[in-house]
Amino acid sequence: MLNLQSIHTTVMQKVPYNWALMKNLLSPEASLELTASFPHQEFQLSTGEGYGYYWGKILAPSQDIPLMLKFKDDRWRQRLAQGRLTSDLKHLSYVWRQLIEGLWSDDYRIALAEMSGLDLKNCVMDIGFRQYKSGHQHSPHTDEPNKVLTHLLFFNQQWSGDWGGCLRILKDEQPESTFQDILPLSHSSVVIARSDNSWHMVTPLTCPPSESRLALRVAFFRNVE
Ligand X SMILES: O=C(O)CCC(=O)C(=O)O
- Nearest alpha-carbon partner for 171 in 163, 180, 183: 180
Shortest spacing between CB 83 and ligand X, in angstroms: 21
d(CA 119, CA 142): 19
d(CA 34, CA 129): 12
The DSSP secondary-structure symbol of 221 reads E
d(CA 221, CA 213): 25
- Please count the residues of the chain: 225
Nearer to ligand X among residue 40 and residue 70 (C-beta) = 40
- Nearest alpha-carbon partner for 202 in 56, 55, 53, 54: 53
* Binding flag, residue 133, ligand X (CB under 6 A): no
Nearer to ligand X among residue 75 and residue 217 (C-beta) = 217
* Binding flag, residue 126, ligand X (CB under 6 A): no
84 within 8 A of 58, measured Cβ to Cβ: yes
* Binding flag, residue 34, ligand X (CB under 6 A): no
Binding-residue pattern over the window 39 to 68 for Fe ion, x denoting contact by CB under 5 A: ------------------------------
* Binding flag, residue 170, ligand X (CB under 6 A): no
User: Applying CB under 6 A, which of residues 92, 143, 194, 205 lies at the interface with ligand X?
Assistant: 143
Nearer to ligand X among residue 57 and residue 62 (C-beta) = 57
Q: Using CB under 5 A as the criterion, which residues of the chain lie in contact with Fe ion when the complex forms? A: 143
Q: Using CB under 6 A as the criterion, which residues of the chain lie in contact with ligand X when the complex forms? A: 130, 138, 143, 152, 167, 200, 202, 215, 217
